Structure 1
């Protein structure tokens, strides 16, 4: 099984450092910055060989060049955004396979937050790295795509096995949950989850990764009945202050 290490950076980003012990290979998902990532890998005796980017935003790619310079690693990311990620060595699209040691990850195109956003699904590990598409009890803003696209993305991710562990790139859970309670106040699973989330955040603890099962039960964007209903929810969250 892979080992996944959470590295908090900036104000609310998470960089995921991933190690495959059989091969000894290590990669990084969406490094916003380089220094804490390199330090964590060095402390563990891991050598970074790859970076996997989900989309072009600087808080997901800002550490690419420095990590590449320090380690000689290769950078993989969405072909549709290659012009905006100048450090890319390999461009990937829907259905392509990338590997960490003997572990395969299948590329899923999930555009909407950005036009070329991708996710990496590792079926054998019941794991998905989803960038800014799916959050705990939330989803990404629609910067470069439509509500229809994002709704389809979420339904596709929700169809993954319920035990799939989902690694988003931000700590947005408390705000997402507070909004979710305004639109789904009778959801007892949601209420119970929010008790746990509030306690974790009060203690300074993280609330992700999450699972597909948890999101099916408590995420209003996944639970929306249609793309139109999703669009209303997304607009409401964009305007929400809480």
Structure 2
């Protein structure tokens, strides 16, 4: 996901299909490397500016007080907050015209991370409102931090990103690749390499919380424009994502659902689930409510880019039978 993406949509590429009726490989995730709960002392005091370490010490008491407040029901959640587990909270933060960044907050430890900020100030404003401190910035692609003012955040937090983008992400601290896992405040994060939109794009899957951050690989009812990758790479990337459990919540990088629904309905007008979801999305947007998150199950029912083996879509787009 990135500032330069604009409001683009990928045309349907007939290279195969990813749907519940088709055979697909399951995602293989292996444990590699050493897990990390919080940034190390070395990172606090040597890996980043001194202000990073000072800020950490200053906010420790504040986070402790906030945790106590939540125990007694005094805590409050800001913006569009979605609880996906007992301790991990996901806060949706609108950026630019239609981008979404996400603040991850573990309420047990007070640890905070940021996923794919397209600009820094909305994140900084949200943090200042509750006096929280960012420990990790999760970059889904190099454009997340390269083409925005998010480098401001990189100066004061650990930056986690793809090994393939290590030379393109400023200030990167933790380099991850396909199959790696990383611990964020006790939450296991699986790394899926999902090239297509960009060559180094990755998705972060929080298995215990049932959430995946897909950036510009998978949108609700669509997928990302191919800037650096190939159609086959995008197909493979979508296969990895759709193999996750149906109840997995999908946190994508843009609010494109309403416009995506128009294309989806044009190729599958008889899809009852799609008709209902399109109407629901329109109602949400009329109320200025995000349509995100979606779910894997919903996307398998409604997203034409995951349903190219569907007979109605095949007829509408004249897809040859040998395409699966």
TM over 0.5: yes
Give the structure with the higher percent helix: 1
Give the CA RMSD over aligned residues.
Answer: 1.9
Deviating more after overlay: 41-50 vs 157-166: 41-50
- Matched ranges for 1:94-113 at <5 A: 94-113=178-197
Shift in CA distance, 60/19, structure 1 to aligned 2, threshold 3 Å: farther
CA distance in 1, matches of 2:146, 2:301: 28
Higher relative contact order (CA 8 A, sep 6+): 2
SS in 1 for 2:90: strand
CA distance in 1, matches of 2:201, 2:263: 25
Specify which of 299, 314, 322 is matched with residue 215 of structure 1.
Answer: 299
CA distance in 1, matches of 2:267, 2:146: 30
Does residue 284 of structure 2 align to residue 195 of structure 1?
no
* 1:60 CA drift (Å): 7.4
Verify the 8 A CA contact 2:90 2:104 in the aligned structure 1: yes
* 1:56 CA drift (Å): 1.2
Structure 1 stretches of 5 or more lacking a match?
234-242
Q: TM-score, normalised by structure 2?
A: 0.67
Shift in CA distance, 43/134, structure 1 to aligned 2, threshold 3 Å: same
Q: Size of the alignment, in residue pairs?
A: 228
Give the structure with the higher percent strand: 1
* 1:86 CA drift (Å): 1.9
- Matched ranges for 1:1-242 at <5 A: 1=85, 2-58=88-144, 62-69=148-155, 72-225=156-309
Shift in CA distance, 119/96, structure 1 to aligned 2, threshold 3 Å: same
* 1:148 CA drift (Å): 1.3
SS in 1 for 2:214: strand
SS in 2 for 1:16: strand
CA distance in 1, matches of 2:199, 2:250: 21
Residues 123-153 of structure 1: CA deviation (Å, up to 9, x unaligned): 1111101110000001001111111111121
CA distance in 1, matches of 2:218, 2:145: 16
* 1:58 CA drift (Å): 4.5
